[in-house]
Amino acid sequence: MDVVDRFSELVARPEPDIGLAEGALLIASAADPGLDPASALATLDEFAEGVDDLVSLCRRLFVELGFRGDPREYHSPVNSLLHRVLERRRGIPITLSVVTLEVARRAGVPLEPIGMPAHFLVRDPASGLYVDSFGATVLDDAGCEALYRDVSGGGQVGFGPELVPVVGPREVLGRMLLNLARIYRMNADPVNLEWVTRLRLEIPGVPASEALQLARAVASQGRLREAAAELEARADQDAELAETFLPAARTLRAQLN
């Protein structure tokens, strides 16, 4: 079973059965086929030893191990790949939050993923405190609001519970892939954009229209016939999208002549 099939099987499970670290490492293994997931999981196990509450968790990750954000190389793919984040102890908010969540889960410290726009966080449901793993700090409600306004430029925007929703692992994985897709588009890297988009399209709820991005990535590698076939196959499954996909497929096939 290849990475796409394994990822598809994972994200099709009920939310409580989706392993966040497992999914993040499948994403990473698509980028780095030589990755040893067992080693990365063992590292998370090791980090959790001796942690028993939020204070000791933050001390372990941010003081003893030195995890924090990487603002200088924010858009480097290595900051979005879990195994590299574990190696470098640097990352972006969402991958650092995955480390925090997975170490906490192993230690029996209940935390919840918070999908704040522009800056992923973790929250302690008991105290209501937020962990900003990128900034290596703990925030109260006022601090969380200040962070949101700082990263979003939303000085005049109202701040409320709708901006700090608890999200499930499926959404976390989708957001990780969305970040990678933006990076690879920015870098004009169709080879990596292809596998990222294939994985995203396996997540229930991801718009099927993203298949156009997949077709463009495949076509950019000179595989026009395959790109057209991708769109035609998906058009057969969705009559509404067929109105867009089939003309795009015909355009691709015309370039073969």
Average pLDDT over residues 34-44: 96
Among 215, 218, 153, residue whose Cα is nearest residue 190: 218
The domain spans of the chain are: 3-163, 169-254
pTM for the whole thing? Answer: 0.94
Q: Can you give the pLDDT at residue 237? A: 86
Above 90 in pLDDT, residue 89?
yes
- Paired tokens of 108: 């029996």
CATH number of this structure's domain 169-254: 1.25.40.10
Q: Can you give the pLDDT at residue 155? A: 66
Average pLDDT over residues 60-79: 97
Q: What is the pLDDT of residues 105-133, one digit of tens each?
A: 999 999 999 999 989 999 999 999 999 99
Q: What is the pLDDT of residues 231-254, one digit of tens each?
A: 999 998 888 888 899 999 999 998
Average pLDDT over residues 34-48: 96
Above 80 in pLDDT, residue 28?
yes
> Within a 13 Å sphere around the CA of 34, how many CA atoms are in the beta-carbon half?
1
